Amino acid sequence: MSGFLAGLCVAVLPLLAAGFWLGRRTARPESLGGLGTPVEHATFQTLHTASLAAPPLRAGLTEETAGRSARRLRTLLGTDALCLTDQETVLAWAGVGAHHRAEIMERLGGPLETGRGEAFRLSCDEPACPLRWAVVAPLTVDERVHGALVACAPRESAVLVRAAGEVARWVSVQLELADLDQSRTRLIEAEIKALRAQISPHFIFNSLAVIASFVRTDPERARELLLEFADFTRYSFRRHGDFTTLADELHAIDHYLALVRARFGERLSVTLQIAPEVLPVALPFLCLQPLVENAVKHGLEGKTDKSHISITAQDAGAEALVVIEDNGTGMDPDRLRRILAGEVSPSGGIGLSNVDERLRQVYGDDHGLVIETAVGAGMKITARLPKYQPGVHSAGRLPRE
Amino acid sequence: MNQSYAVPAVALVVVATVLVGAFGLRISRTTSDFYVASRTVGPRLNAAAISGEYLSAASFLGIAGLVLVQGPDMLWYPVGYTAGYLVLLLFVAAPLRRSGAYTLPDFAEARLGSGAVRRLAGAFVVGVGWLYLLPQLQGAGLTLAVLTDAPDWFGGVLVAVVVVATVAAGGMRSITFVQAFQYWLKLTALLVPALFLVLAWQAHGAPRDAFDEPATFREQRVVRVDDTLDLKLSRPLGVTATGSVDGRRYEGERVELPAGVHHIERGARLTFTKGDPVPVADRGSNGGMSTSLAAGREERPLYATYGLILATFLGTMGLPHVVVRFYTSPHGVAARRTTVAVLGLIGAFYLLPPVYGALGRLYAPELSLIGNADAAVLLLPDRMIGGVGADLLGALVAGGAFAAFLSTASGLTMAVAGVLTQDVLPARGVRHFRLGTVLAMAVPLAASVLVGGLPVADAVGLAFAVSASSFCPLLVLGIWWRRLTPPGAAAGMLIGGGSALVAVGATMAGYPGTGSLHALLAWPALWSVPLGFVTMMLVSLATPGRVPAGTAAILARFHLPEELAGAQVRAAVSAKEVGA
């Protein structure tokens, strides 16, 4: 019997949990009935309708968003018909009398030109059609007319003109916000573009110098290095997609290290430890190479003896853990904090803070770089890369055999 | 069994697993092997890893046990377990990989863009994982009990402790190598003894009456009854009994039992002579032991067979520990090649358990009487060969069995712990992953002590049924049907998977249903899978406004090869914008 009960519990518990969770999600405070005076009630209603009309408009003025908000706006104004237009066409018509579309577009030329509101009489052959007057209120963003809100009513009314003007101004604010959203997205995109793929000019210069030094003594080696250089630059200059796979990034690091080693020879040793499970992980393009470059720089800076760099990629459940460690000069933690906060620019390039910022942008603030360092104690950089993140897909590449 | 060989063998497997897991990483110190170190896992290695993770106690012990008890009907089990990968290959493997999802909740989010559906899928992953872990722990308990006379719960606790310790400590750093190693270990552990057993069988004159009904004793055999049971005799039978039979005590006397039901008290010893038919044990309601599902099958054999086939064919794609392994493939084509290789590897493995089952019917038929049929694989070497050679072979089989528990249990624990950490427990971090690991193992461990023993293959079948009714509709419709909506997916999973879960819970609790109701509950897949599909489709059709915005682009990415996808997805998106 106890077995029966236990089994029943095992079966019922998940269902109960699911039911509880569904209940929590669907239960929303709905009633406003007992709240305040009729005037306050009406205010709430109006604000509620307005708040419902806002979200679609935040995506900009298109046929789809206009269609969804026009219905709400008509309720808000209480007119028989309402339409939203852009410069050329009627985007959405809510209510009766859609046959006036063409006529309204003809008469809109003036208001769209001047940006001033207007009311005009509609000519209609249909006796049953209630629309006799149209009130036009232009929608302006940054003082440029984007379209118009047209409210149609049976008679001319100063109240309607005023109300339509106010609603149009409110819609304009929403459209301005949409514009702001768009420019913010563009800004982020531009930032990512600016952040990505900056191989340091020093590296190009040094590599070419090293290759030049081999051209006479060891032409074969020089040729190999040139090919490495070509591969690396092709990778870092490629333009499609913002993401790559860990395997590709490691190959780029390989090319990079080959060039660095040609320059420093035996002074630099590298250990690589990779769990093959994490190689397909998608990650922002060129976000580990700068860390390795940083390790090389710190490892060899002000030292004459050997420097060691280790690169590990571990499988950690739903994440990949990439650790890059060097035994170099390290850095004062306070200075590092200021560099990451963008307060001071480090001597060579924008490596660490750039990578940190990109990781935070893509994976959220709890996936920034974790750096352990002290003066003279080397540096250990840990990056946690989720195996799956919505929107992160490595750009297509040919299967490599 | 001789403990002095088996215990070191089990210990060796545990140690080897931990060592390969901890140190099996590719390490390179020079540039020249940089390429080797950063090479993605090839289809063959990944296939061995998937097979190693997939072949659980149910495959290693359970199938032989079922064939022993019930005869060749049970060959549907290995067929179903293998054919599941065929369905996976045809409908799911490549698109799932291209979706970029690591776990099933990831897939739900990638396809439907809904956090709610993601959490629901996570709940089902945990449910299926726990259901699947349960028989692993029970199988481990059984194995250790047979090998060393340890109490039943000890083996389960041992596996749980080893798995939690290695997973929580981050010891499974190279899980692909561990699992691939486990596959070859399991194959060897069944193949080598099987060769010797077949040779012994040849030496005994190759008797061919393995599947005669009823099974008969080949030699005089003393059977000790550990649990009180009722014997059903269809014909009168004479045995020598020591202990209590039908309420009378005997001391090594000859008893002639007439046809009918006889009550044997625990502790009794019955001696059967050569050529006696093996009587059928009727355990009734004492603990819902191996006969509970079997009885249902006898009453509704055709229904039960179809239920089993549907559950195993469609359930494989929703097993959380199998799905995460496909992420290791570098691209969709590799995922498909991997699945083909898995079909080969698993197919080869599944040739062996039926051999043990058939030989068990010949040489150890009394196991079905004392409800210990799952131990057939472990006991056969001793029974057929004897001597030191048998002890060594027995130790090899025991080691293989432990590899089966460890690999499947660690894979499942990691999958369940990952979902618990990501979607259930509040904040993130290593500490929570450890907490998740403990939680992932604690619940099935407690359940394995509380809920009595189902035959392991049957218990795994129940996990397959839940997976088939919840994740199969989600994956198949998610990949192949553009009108799927988040409410539809949630409703389908809840109703299909939820009803299967309730049926499974009732069965495992030993719900004393009779006849057709019992069969319906014991083999839910035949009604719960269509229920899940129909619900998902109807609710989706009823909520056309909720089709996720980027569906066309997402499906294009699922179905186009990676090198084309970039350009095509952009084209699909712009086409959609023009259309809107």
How do residues B11-66 score in pLDDT, each as one tens digit? 888 888 888 877 766 665 555 556 666 677 888 889 999 999 999 877 888 888 88
Cβ contact, residue pair A317, B120, below 8 Å: no
Q: Which residues of A touch B501 (CB under 8 A)?
A: 11, 14-15
Q: How many alpha carbons fall within 13 Å on the CB side of residue A311?
A: 27
What is the distance between the alpha carbons of residues B271 and B369, in angstroms, rounded to a whole number?
13
User: What's the one-letter identity of residue A93?
Assistant: W
Nearest to B525 by CA among B76, B57, B73, B54: B76
SS3 string, B269-280, reads EEEECCCCECCE
Provide CB contacts within 8 A for A108, sequence distance 6+: A85, A136, A148, A150
Q: Which residues of B touch A317 (CB under 8 A)?
A: 414, 417-418, 421, 433
Q: Phi/psi of residue A99, each to 5°?
A: -70, -5
Nearest to A164 by CA among A195, A204, A208, A120: A120
Nearest to B401 by CA among B189, B191, B198: B189
| B377 and B407 share one domain | yes
What is the distance between the alpha carbons of residues A59 and A54, in angstroms, rounded to a whole number?
9
Q: Which residues of A touch B25 (CB under 8 A)?
A: 273-275
User: What's the one-letter identity of residue B491?
Assistant: A
The DSSP secondary structure of B393-426, one letter per residue, reads: HHHHHHHHHHHHHHHHHHHHHHHHHHHIIIIISS
Question: What secondary structure letter does DSSP report for A132?
Answer: -
Q: β-strand A81-86 against A144-153: which pairing, if any? A: antiparallel
| B381 and B500 share one domain | yes
Pick left, alpha or beta for residue A166 (phi over 0 → left; psi -120 to 50 → alpha; otherwise beta).
alpha
**Domains assigned to chain A:** 39-192 (3.30.450.40), 196-386 (3.30.565.10)
Q: Are B67 and A303 in contact (CB under 8 A)?
A: no
In a mutational test of the B interface, the residue from A393, A397, A398 whose CB has the highest number of chain B CBs within 10 Å is A393
- For residue B291, what pLDDT is reported? 41
Question: Within a domain: residue B559?
Answer: no
Q: Min CA distance, A1 vs chain B (Å)?
A: 8
- For residue B284, what pLDDT is reported? 41
| B239 and B335 share one domain | no
pLDDT at A401 over 50: no
Question: Is the link from the previous residue into A38 a cis peptide, with omega within 30 of 0?
Answer: no
Question: Within a domain: residue B579?
Answer: no
- For residue A331, what pLDDT is reported? 82
Question: Within a domain: residue B4?
Answer: no
What's the total number of domains in chain B? 2
Q: Tokens representing A307?
A: 């420097």
- For residue B129, what pLDDT is reported? 92
Q: Min CA distance, B563 vs chain A (Å)?
A: 5
Report, as an integer, the average pLDDT of B493-507.
89
- For residue B351, what pLDDT is reported? 93
Question: Within a domain: residue B364?
Answer: yes
Q: Phi/psi of residue B433, each to 5°?
A: -65, -40
- For residue B512, what pLDDT is reported? 61
pLDDT at A348 over 70: no
Report, as an integer, the average pLDDT of B232-249.
77
Question: Within a domain: residue B326?
Answer: yes
| B97 and B226 share one domain | no
What is the band of A54 on the pLDDT scale with cuts at 50, 70, 90?
confident
Q: Which residues of B touch A18 (CB under 8 A)?
A: 120, 123, 494, 498
What is the band of A14 on the pLDDT scale with cuts at 50, 70, 90?
low
**Within a 10 A sphere around the Cβ of A34, how many other Cβ atoms?**
6
Question: Within a domain: residue B530?
Answer: yes
| B187 and B243 share one domain | no
Report which listed range, B82-86, B387-391, B449-453, is most confident: B82-86
Cβ contact, residue pair B510, A7, below 8 Å: yes
What is the band of A35 on the pLDDT scale with cuts at 50, 70, 90?
low
| B131 and B263 share one domain | no
What is the distance between the alpha carbons of residues B369 and B222, in angstroms, rounded to a whole number?
12
Nearest to A388 among B37, B40, B100 (CB): B100
What is the distance between the alpha carbons of residues A168 and B328, in angstroms, rounded to a whole number?
55
- For residue A195, what pLDDT is reported? 63
Nearest to B123 among A18, A277, A280 (CB): A18
pLDDT at A349 over 50: no
Nearest to A243 by CA among A201, A288, A273, A275: A288
- Encode pLDDT of B531-578 as tens digits: 999 999 999 999 888 888 888 888 988 998 877 655 544 444 444 444
Which of helix, strand or coil describes residue A103?
helix
Q: Min CA distance, A10 vs chain B (Å)?
A: 6
What are the CA-CA distances from residue B451 to residues A3, A218, B57 (Å)? 5, 74, 18
The DSSP secondary structure of B22-45, one letter per residue, reads: HH--EEE-SGGGHHHHTPPPPHHH
Which of helix, strand or coil describes residue A330?
coil
Q: How many alpha carbons fall within 13 Å on the CB side of residue A38?
A: 0
| Range scoring the smallest mean pLDDT among B49-53, B172-176, B489-493 | B172-176
Q: Phi/psi of residue A135, each to 5°?
A: -110, 125
What is the distance between the alpha carbons of residues B60 and B378, in angstroms, rounded to a whole number?
10
Q: Min CA distance, B539 vs chain A (Å)?
A: 16
| B325 and B389 share one domain | yes
Which of helix, strand or coil describes residue B503?
helix
Which of helix, strand or coil describes residue B349?
helix
| pLDDT above 90 coverage of chain B, percent | 25
- Encode pLDDT of B106-159 as tens digits: 999 999 988 899 999 999 999 999 989 988 888 888 888 877 777 878 888 888
- CB-based burial label for B133 (10 Å; 0-12, 13-18, 19+): buried
What is the distance between the alpha carbons of residues A313 and A275, in angstroms, rounded to a whole number?
6
| pLDDT above 90 coverage of chain A, percent | 5
Cβ contact, residue pair A3, B31, below 8 Å: no
What is the CATH number for B530?
A: 1.20.1730.10
Q: Phi/psi of residue B171, each to 5°?
A: -75, -20
| B261 and B306 share one domain | no
pLDDT at B174 over 60: yes
| B188 and B314 share one domain | yes
pLDDT at A259 over 70: yes
Report, as an integer, the average pLDDT of B324-336.
88
Q: Which residues of B touch A382 (CB under 8 A)?
A: none
What is the distance between the alpha carbons of residues B229 and B265, in angstroms, rounded to a whole number?
7
Structure-model confidence comparison of residues A92 and B531, the more confident one: B531
- For residue B274, what pLDDT is reported? 74
Cβ contact, residue pair A277, B41, below 8 Å: yes
Q: Tokens representing B444?
A: 């099935």
Q: Are A328 and A307 in contact (CB under 8 A)?
A: yes
Nearest to B55 by CA among B196, B156, B184, B154: B184
Structure-model confidence comparison of residues A214 and A122, the more confident one: A214
The DSSP secondary structure of A48-86, one letter per residue, reads: HHHHHHHHHHTT-S-HHHHHHHHHHHHHHHT-SEEEEEE
- For residue B71, what pLDDT is reported? 78
Q: Min CA distance, A374 vs chain B (Å)?
A: 24
Q: Min CA distance, B102 vs chain A (Å)?
A: 6
SS3 string, B462-497, reads HHHHHHHHHHHHHHHHHHHCCCCCHHHHHHHHHHHH
Q: Are A273 and A313 in contact (CB under 8 A)?
A: yes
Q: Which residues of A touch B333 (CB under 8 A)?
A: 399
- For residue B177, what pLDDT is reported? 85
**Each residue of B378-414: b (16+ CB within 10 Å) or e?**
bbbbbbbbeeeebbbbbbbbbbbbbbbbbbbbbbbbb
User: What number is the ipTM of this complex?
Assistant: 0.79
Question: Within a domain: residue B556?
Answer: no
Which stretches does DSSP call E strand in A252-306? 268-274, 282-284
**Within a 10 A sphere around the Cβ of B324, how many other Cβ atoms?**
25
Structure-model confidence comparison of residues A395 and B71, the more confident one: B71
Provide CB contacts within 8 A for A240, sequence distance 6+: A395, B566
Residue finishing a domain among B231, B250, B277: B277
- For residue B111, what pLDDT is reported? 92
| B343 and B466 share one domain | yes
**Within a 10 A sphere around the Cβ of A204, how many other Cβ atoms?**
14
Report which listed range, A140-149, B330-339, B516-525, is most confident: B330-339
- Encode pLDDT of A186-201 as tens digits: 887 777 666 655 667 7
User: What's the one-letter identity of residue A182?
Assistant: Q
Cβ contact, residue pair A258, B31, below 8 Å: yes
Q: Which residues of B touch A258 (CB under 8 A)?
A: 31
- Encode pLDDT of B268-313 as tens digits: 777 887 777 777 666 543 333 334 454 444 555 778 888 888 998 9
What is the distance between the alpha carbons of residues A134 and A111, in angstroms, rounded to a whole number?
12
pLDDT at A289 over 70: yes
Q: Which residues of B touch A251 (CB under 8 A)?
A: 35, 38
Provide CB contacts within 8 A for B578, sequence distance 6+: none
What are the CA-CA distances from residue A33 to residues A38, A44, A45, A102 (Å)? 10, 10, 11, 42
- For residue B483, what pLDDT is reported? 92
What is the band of A299 on the pLDDT scale with cuts at 50, 70, 90?
confident
Question: What secondary structure letter does DSSP report for B216?
Answer: B
Which of helix, strand or coil describes residue A123?
coil
Nearest to A274 by CA among A243, A248, A250: A250
- Encode pLDDT of B425-455 as tens digits: 766 555 677 888 888 899 888 888 776 656 6
| B85 and B234 share one domain | no
CA-based diameter of chain A, in Å?
98
In A265-304, which ranges are continuous DSSP H helix? 289-300
Q: β-strand B229-233 against B260-264: which pairing, if any? A: antiparallel
| B306 and B262 share one domain | no
- For residue A398, what pLDDT is reported? 39
Report, as an integer, the average pLDDT of B356-381.
82
What is the distance between the alpha carbons of residues A27 and B65, in angstroms, rounded to a whole number?
51
Nearest to A163 by CA among A46, A85, A67: A46
What is the distance between the alpha carbons of residues B276 and A59, in angstroms, rounded to a whole number?
82
**Gyration radius (Cα) of chain A, Å:** 32
pLDDT at B336 over 90: yes
Say which residue the tokens 């089989």 belong to: B397
Domain of B237, in residue numbers: 221-277
Question: Within a domain: residue B263?
Answer: yes
What is the distance between the alpha carbons of residues B478 and B558, in angstroms, rounded to a whole number?
10
Nearest to A55 by CA among A232, A178, A185: A178
Q: Tokens representing B206?
A: 């190759």
Nearest to A135 by CA among A108, A111, A164, A155: A164
- CB-based burial label for B115 (10 Å; 0-12, 13-18, 19+): middle
**Gyration radius (Cα) of chain B, Å:** 25
Q: Tokens representing A388?
A: 């799956």
Structure-model confidence comparison of residues B166 and B228, the more confident one: B166
Mean pLDDT of the residues in chain B: 81
- For residue B455, what pLDDT is reported? 66
How many interchain CB pairs under 8 A, A with B?
184
